[in-house]
Amino acid sequence: MNKKNMTVALTIGLLCVKGVFAGVPTDEKGELDLSTIVYIEEEEVIDLGFDTADYLPEDFDPYKVYFDLNSVTVIAAEIEIDFDSKENLPANFDAYAYPTDCESFNYIDANDTLVLDFDSTNHLPEGFDPYIK
């Protein structure tokens, strides 16, 4: 029985030692060279249900530039405003001014107007004024 236990303990010990040294590379390089990995890329075939060559010109080359966008001349038209916009803006208005705090942002939401169709005066004491401190 003692010999059997000793054999089992020795076998387990050798397996543990083998497992500890399993992560240590045996070659001197010790690193995996990514350039040695061969990547197999599958050619994906897309079937559209019709032959696209029937709808393209005979000598069509998808890699040839048929139209040069640099050859287009852009004519800049000046826009004339026939009214003075300063009349409709606040005094000292600066469209490029940086907002100094969050309170300077004004958000207008159409859903902000809330009509309850409820008269609260029937449920409040006589002479109640919510604005009196």
Exposure of 7 by Cβ count < 10 A (0-12 exposed, 13-18 middle, 19+ buried)? Answer: exposed
pLDDT at 15: 77
Q: What's the rounded Cα separation, in Å, for the pair 89 and 95?
A: 10
Task: Look up tokens 């001014």; give the residue.
Answer: 97
Q: What's the rounded Cα separation, in Å, for the pair 129 and 34?
A: 79
pLDDT at 20: 67
Q: Per residue in 79-129, pLDDT tens?
A: 887 888 778 888 888 888 876 777 767 777 777 777 778 888 888 888 888
Q: Per residue in 10-54, pLDDT tens?
A: 888 877 776 666 666 655 556 677 788 888 888 888 888 888 888
Q: What's the rounded Cα separation, in Å, for the pair 113 and 107?
A: 13
Query: What are the angstrom distances between the C-alpha of 7 and each of 10, 14, 99?
Result: 5, 11, 81
pLDDT at 23: 66
Q: What's the rounded Cα separation, in Å, for the pair 15 and 11?
A: 6
Angle, CA 108 vertex, CA 105 and CA 112 arms, to 5°: 125
**Cβ count near 30 (within 10 Å):** 8
Q: For residues 99 and 105, is the Cβ–Cβ distance under 8 A? A: yes
